[in-house]
């Protein structure tokens, strides 16, 4: 879903952040671990659940299970969620870091209307993300990867997924146009480019490096579609205008944030309270998304979108929630210039 959104929106990747996923066993205040009989099932904590012998119960999401336990005053029940969900819904952390593996990380991307490629210093380690579609020819992927390996450019990630409808329509249009140029009567003979795969590749170099430029030009000769999603510094480093904006944000301690968020939401004129207010959009409202909302909502207008119903958590944090099917409205609000 996120890859398809990147292709639909005219945005650039300007930074990345690897966020460690940590799960906490949450229950009503005063609950001890031996009092817990039922817990929300979560595959990432399967070994822990088996070891403790808890009865499993499915819920719509992790933060939602914490909300259900608090609202229903469910004694003897626990939720597996984040510390943030526990603090939002008033639950105690019975045990922390109960995930089966401690190397579970989620990669988050920082997006901007403007790229930062031109301001990356030559001596700064950089990474570039691209997307491309290859013709259905023997050895096509081997030839595409050779564009980089022959120039000693290292990969950090490559994955494939079914091509989105928007790219399929573009490829079909281009194929029909080419055939029509060759023979005006052959316009309707264009075959539908179904069952095509899109490749997402990250390589360890800046787009403007000479070797990278040559590799990309070579790749374009072999591919039906190529797009650079962004060049950015490695290691969660922000540069350029994005860094200036983030450094100007007021970051409050999480302990004081929840109290001030409630007071801020009660102010009728909160949108006029600061001349530097930004419109911040968060795609995905899980643990990290709620952390960002909790950090920024005091001084800026925060909007979020998620495939699950996170409206209650968004309301508690003082931001506006959009369901995934209303993505166009979310983009219109966030991207509208003020």
Which residues contact residue 150 at a Cβ distance below 8 angstroms, ignoring those fewer than 6 apart? Answer: none
Which residues contact residue 317 at a Cβ distance below 8 angstroms, ignoring those fewer than 6 apart? Answer: 88, 261, 290, 293, 294, 297, 302
Exposure on the CB side of residue 4, measured as CA atoms within 13 A = 11
Instruction: Say how far apart CA 335 and CA 322 lie, in whole Å.
Output: 14
**Size of the chain in residues:** 338
Instruction: Say how far apart CA 248 and CA 257 lie, in whole Å.
Output: 17
Question: To which residue do tokens 């993300």 refer?
Answer: 129
The answer to whether 106 is a known catalytic residue is yes
Q: How many CB atoms lie within 10 A of CB 211?
A: 15
Of 105, 106, 232, 295, the active-site residue reads: 106
Instruction: Say how far apart CA 14 and CA 20 lie, in whole Å.
Output: 20
Tell me the C-alpha to C-alpha distance, in Å, between residue 99 and each of 7, 77, 182.
33, 18, 59
- Could you report how far apart the first and last alpha carbons of the chain are, in Å? 29
The answer to whether 19 is a known catalytic residue is no
Of 31, 108, 128, 132, the active-site residue reads: 108
Residues belonging to the active site: 106, 108
């Amino acid at each position: 879903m996120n890859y398809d959104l990147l292709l639909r929106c005219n945005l650039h990747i300007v930074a990345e952040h690897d966020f460690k996923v940590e799960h906490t066993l949450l229950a009503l205040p005063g609950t001890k671990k031996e009092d817990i009989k039922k817990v929300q099932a979560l595959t990432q904590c399967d070994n822990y659940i088996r070891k403790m012998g808890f009865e499993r119960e499915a819920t719509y999401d992790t933060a939602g299970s914490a909300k259900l336990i608090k609202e229903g005053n469910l004694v003897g029940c626990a939720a597996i969620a984040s510390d943030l969900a526990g603090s939002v819904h008033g639950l105690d952390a019975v045990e922390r870091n109960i995930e089966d593996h401690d190397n579970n990380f989620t990669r988050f991307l920082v997006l901007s209307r403007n790229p930062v490629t031109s301001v990356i210093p030559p001596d700064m380690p950089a990474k570039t993300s691209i997307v491309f579609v290859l013709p259905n020819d023997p050895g096509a992927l081997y030839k595409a990867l050779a564009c980089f390996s022959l120039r000693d450019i290292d990969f950090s990630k490559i994955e494939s997924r079914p091509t989105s409808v928007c790219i399929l329509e573009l490829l079909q249009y281009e194929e029909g146009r080419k055939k029509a140029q060759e023979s005006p009567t052959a316009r309707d003979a264009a075959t539908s480019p179904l069952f095509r795969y899109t490749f997402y590749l990250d390589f360890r170099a800046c787009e403007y490096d000479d070797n990278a430029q040559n590799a990309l030009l070579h790749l374009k000769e072999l591919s039906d579609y190529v797009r650079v999603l962004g060049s950015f510094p490695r290691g969660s480093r922000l540069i350029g205008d994005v860094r200036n904006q983030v450094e100007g944000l007021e970051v409050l301690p999480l302990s004081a944030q929840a109290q001030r968020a409630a007071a801020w939401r009660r102010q009728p004129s909160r949108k006029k309270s600061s001349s530097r207010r930004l419109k911040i959009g968060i795609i995905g409202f899980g643990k990290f998304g709620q952390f960002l909302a909790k950090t920024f909502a005091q001084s800026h207008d925060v909007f979020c979108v998620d495939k699950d119903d996170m409206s209650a958590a968004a309301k508690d944090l003082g931001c506006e929630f959009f369901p995934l099917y209303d993505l166009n409205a979310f983009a219109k609000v966030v991207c509208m210039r003020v």
